[in-house]
């Protein structure tokens, strides 16, 4: 909350998040807690930007010398041509979730993918290197995840998406850059139980679960008992996917750790130092407990 913040002086820096809508974003809670804990004279505010005003919004960041922003739905891809430079990971993911204002030049980064890998290791004890993964979804979050999984050296990723053509398009691009990773598009109705029994991790990168939706036809019972399930959705904290996986005895985690890790990486890009350990997670958990 802003009231946790030390008073901002004229020398203070302004950071924020742009998206539409941004009312429900939890990034201000995490980032302001981290600025405050680090004693940095800065504030982080939500910037709702109407879809038809994205170019003006980005121009406004330059004019007002905003030091950096997070980018959320629906602008992670749309903002790319409006920036001065795109980091290679963001280019690979086709999405930007962090912008750093470097002396007037706006540079785009993607910390979602690396945030996922950090959370998989920390929260699920899962090292993606050499592993077989099913990725549900082919939107911005899935692209960031696929880029990071490929960088982390997975053996294979099978993509399951409502719109199969979007999944095919996504993997075609990545297959060129990562010829050693076996990428495929699957359909839950035709894929054999034997295939599922060999998968080590299932990741939900769709918005299904935010409002109690099931991911239809996902044969969790065919997974090996040591397979793990990761749901990028973090509100509600227990989605239907997570409760179904846990009911089968599978280790399953929500996306809170990814949200925290991408925010910690963004903070480090802006400030050159990481935030104090757990300050963002604790602020978030306190906030979610109150709401
Ligand atoms: P996009 O809008 O880019 O993609 C949405 C994806 O969900 C697509 O694959 C889409 O399939 C699928 N989808 C949407 N509705 C349905 C439906 N009714 N049935 C089946 N599939 C559906 O969103 P993002 O990729 O940016 O975000 C996806 C999720 O990831 C969100 O819940 C978001 O909150 C979460 N996320 C979490 C983060 C974290 O830090 N924990 C970070 C980033 C995202 P189709 O192609 O067929 O439309």
189 band by pLDDT with thresholds 50, 70 and 90: confident
Tell me which residue has tokens 């990562």.
178
Q: Which pLDDT score is estimated for 1?
A: 44
Instruction: Give 190's contacts (C-beta < 8 A, 6+ positions apart).
Output: none
Stated pTM of the model: 0.94
pLDDT at residue 191, rounded to an integer: 76
Using CA positions, which residue lies closest to atom 18 of ligand 1? 208
Does residue 145 carry a pLDDT above 90? yes
Burial zone of 23 (CB within 10 Å; 0-12 exposed, 13-18 middle, 19+ buried): exposed
Catalytic residue set: 76
Ligand 1 proximity of 162 Cβ (cutoff 6 Å): yes
Is the CB of 140 inside a 6 Å radius of any atom of ligand 1? yes
What mean pLDDT do residues 254-283 have? 97
Chain position carrying tokens 């407990």: 289
| Cα 28 to averaged position of ligand 1 atoms, centre (Å) | 22
Ligand 1 binding pocket mutation candidate from 138, 162, 217, 218 (most atoms within 8 A of CB):
162
Residue 290 confidence (pLDDT) above 90 = no
- Sign of the Cα torsion 253, 256, 259, 264 reads negative
The number of the ligand 1 atom at minimal distance from the alpha carbon of 261 is 40
pLDDT for 291: 79
54 CA from centroid of ligand 1 (Å): 21
- pLDDT score, position 270: 98
Does the C-beta of 188 come closer than 6 Å to ligand 1? no
Gap from CA of 24 to ligand 1 centroid (Å): 16
Beta bridge partners of 134: 158, 202
Give the pLDDT mean for 142-158: 96
Instruction: Judge whether residue 9 has pLDDT over 90.
Output: no
Question: Residue 12 C-alpha to ligand 1 middle, in angstroms?
Answer: 35
pLDDT surpassing 60 at residue 4? no
**CA pair distance 6, 57, nearest whole angstrom:** 27
Question: What is the rounded average pLDDT of the residues 91-118?
Answer: 96
Structure-token pair, residue 100? 């750093």
Q: For ligand 1, pick from 30, 143, 159, 205 the residue to mutate: most ligand atoms within 8 Å of CB.
A: 205
Position in ligand 1 atom list of the atom nearest CA 166? 46
Name the average pLDDT for the chain. Answer: 94
Is the per-residue pLDDT at 192 higher than 60? yes
pLDDT the model gives residue 5: 55
Give dist(CA 277, CA 62) in Å, integer.
31
- Report pLDDT for 264: 98
User: Cα of 104 to ligand 1 centre, how many Å?
Assistant: 32
Structural contact between residues 23 and 46, judged by C-beta atoms closer than 8 angstroms? yes
Express each pLDDT in 271-280 by its tens digit: 999 999 999 9
Residue 260 to residue 139: CA distance in whole angstroms: 20
Question: Is-cis flag, bond preceding 21, omega within 30?
Answer: yes
> Is the CB–ligand 1 distance for residue 266 below 6 Å?
no
> Residue written as tokens 């008992």?
225
Within its chain, how far is the Cα of 155 from the centroid?
A: 22
Cβ-contact 44, 33 below 8 angstroms: no
Residue-wise pLDDT for 227-252, tens only, equals 999 999 998 999 999 999 999 999 99
């Amino acid at each position: 909350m802003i009231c946790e913040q030390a008073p901002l002086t004229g020398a203070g820096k302004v950071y924020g998040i742009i998206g539409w809508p941004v009312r429900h974003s939890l990034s201000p809670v995490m980032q302001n807690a981290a600025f405050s804990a680090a004693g940095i004279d800065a504030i982080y505010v939500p910037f709702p930007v109407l879809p038809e005003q994205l170019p003006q919004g980005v121009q406004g960041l330059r004019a007002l010398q905003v030091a950096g922003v997070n980018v959320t739905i629906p602008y992670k891809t749309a903002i790319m041509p409006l920036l001065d430079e795109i980091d290679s990971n963001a280019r690979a993911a086709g999405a930007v979730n962090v912008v750093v204002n470097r002396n007037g030049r706006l540079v785009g980064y993607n910390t979602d993918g690396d945030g996922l890998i950090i959370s998989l290791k920390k929260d699920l004890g899962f090292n993606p290197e050499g592993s077989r993964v099913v990725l549900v979804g082919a939107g911005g979050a899935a692209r960031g995840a696929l880029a990071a999984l490929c960088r982390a050296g997975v053996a294979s990723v099978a993509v399951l998406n409502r719109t199969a053509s979007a999944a095919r398009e996504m993997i075609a691009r990545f297959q060129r850059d990562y010829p050693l990773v076996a990428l495929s598009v699957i359909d839950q109705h035709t894929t054999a139980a034997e295939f599922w029994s060999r998968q080590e991790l299932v990741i939900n990168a769709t918005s299904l679960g935010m409002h109690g939706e099931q991911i239809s036809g996902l044969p969790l019972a065919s997974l090996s008992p040591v397979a793990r399930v990761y749901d990028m959705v973090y509100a509600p904290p227990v989605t239907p996917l997570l409760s179904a996986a846990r009911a089968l005895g599978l280790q399953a985690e929500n996306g809170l750790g990814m949200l925290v890790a991408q925010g910690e990486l963004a903070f480090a890009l802006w400030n050159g130092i990481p935030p104090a350990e757990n300050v963002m997670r604790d602020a978030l958990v306190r906030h979610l407990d109150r709401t």
